[in-house]
Amino acid sequence: MSKDYYKILGVEKNATTDELKKAFKKLAMQHHPDRPGGDEKKFKEINEAFQVLGDAEKRKKFDQFGSDFEQQGGWGGAGGSWEDVMNAFRQQQGGGQGGFSFNFGGADFGDLFGGFGDLFGGGSSRRNGRASRGRDIQVDVEIDFKEAAFGVEKKLSLRKQSKCDVCNGTGSEPGSKVETCGTCRGQGQVTQVQRTFLGAMQTVVSCSACNGRGQKSSKACKHCGGDGILAKTSSINIKIPAGIDDGQSIRLSGHGEAAPHGGQSGDLYAQAHIKHQKVFHREGFDVYTDNEISFTQAVLGDKIEVETIEGLIQVVVPEGTESGQLIRLKGRGIPYLGRSGRGDHYVRVKIRVPRRVSRGVKKLLEELKSEL
């Protein structure tokens, strides 16, 4: 009998990969046999469904032919028995990055359950095998409207963890002898055994004695204490690109905080904040301004001065212009971010009505009223 894998996972047929993973994690946690109230049969059924839907090719065949498109074998060929599945899971170790992994249907078991630290003894050990990386930094940069339109360079002063100038970030005293780490024997990684609800599990983690480098200095740097980093103030020039909008950020790779022991530095994110001003209003890459004209200018037409982001220009107001009408100035707006061309400038016309007029003007208006 054909099975409906979408129904088993409780998702729609157009579910994304992330939605499939989320549904699988929730159901797997609920029905795991080693948890109170768990259901081994239901758990295997969930895994079978995800094995197919989590693989793009298998999912395509399933959508065409149903669950009988090929003989299902539990978790990625691990066999139908629960013991076979668990044994395959316990024995399979991660590759060059360390940790454990188990692949089924194109999805990684460690990635799926990486967020459930209480089940796996503190989270996925895959992260422990990675080299240390410095912290990312976000700063706010205040610019005015025209600087946002045409770009600007800003000089910022930052106090952050930076690479030690004496040891060049290695943490070793200059001239000291570098030796192979005795704890990991130069591998930079050590094997640990963790007890989980799945039983004893071996994980590969970064060696804490040498911080994953495989080598140790006989003498730590006196200037930084062996960490390779120090807190200090430094200056950096940030180029704000033309066309950036309020709230958008630019990324400067490697300009965040330095990592201990020569690790990779983090990134710096500069978020633009445009100062409020009254003249211009921006919508995307278009600019809007309001300009008042008199009643006679609206009726008869005229030339008026309009302030644009490049300065004052003469603009023709056609006769018969109505209040609120927009006059388009093509290519006078904001330059497109990261590409050629510009938006437009729109002049919104507002007819100025005088509150008081002289008797002569009033008489003329009465005559005009009768004429119209």
How would you write 207-266 as a 3-class SS string?
Answer: CCCCCCCCEEECCECCCCCCCCEEEEEEEEEEEECCCCCCCCEEEECCCCCCCHHHCECC
Specify which residues 21 forms β-bridges with: none
Range 131-172+225-275 classified under CATH 2.60.260.20 = yes
Packing angle, helices 17-31 and 40-53, rounded to 10: 170
Residues 108-139: pLDDT tens digits?
444 444 444 434 333 333 333 445 789 999 99
Three-class SS of 280-314:
CEEECCEEEEEEEEEHHHHHHCEEEEEEECCEEEE
pLDDT category at 101 given cuts 50, 70, 90 is very low
Tell me the pTM: 0.56
Q: Tell me the fold of 281-371.
A: HSP40/DNAj peptide-binding domain (2.60.260)
303 vs 260: which has the higher pLDDT: 303
DSSP state for residue 345 in the 8-state scheme: E
196 vs 306: which has the higher pLDDT: 306
Structure tokens at 233: 């103030």
| Domains 5-91 and 131-172+225-275 equal at CATH topology level | no
Between 135-149, 168-182, 255-269, 331-345, the lowest mean confidence (pLDDT) is in 168-182
**pLDDT over threshold 60, residue 354:** yes
Residues 269-317: pLDDT tens digits?
999 999 988 999 999 999 999 999 998 899 899 999 999 999 999 999 9
Mean pLDDT of 159-163: 92
Range 5-91 classified under CATH 1.10.287.110 = yes
Local structure of 163: helix, strand or coil:
strand
Domain boundary assignment for the chain: 5-91, 131-172+225-275, 281-371
DSSP state for residue 185 in the 8-state scheme: T
pLDDT at 357: 77
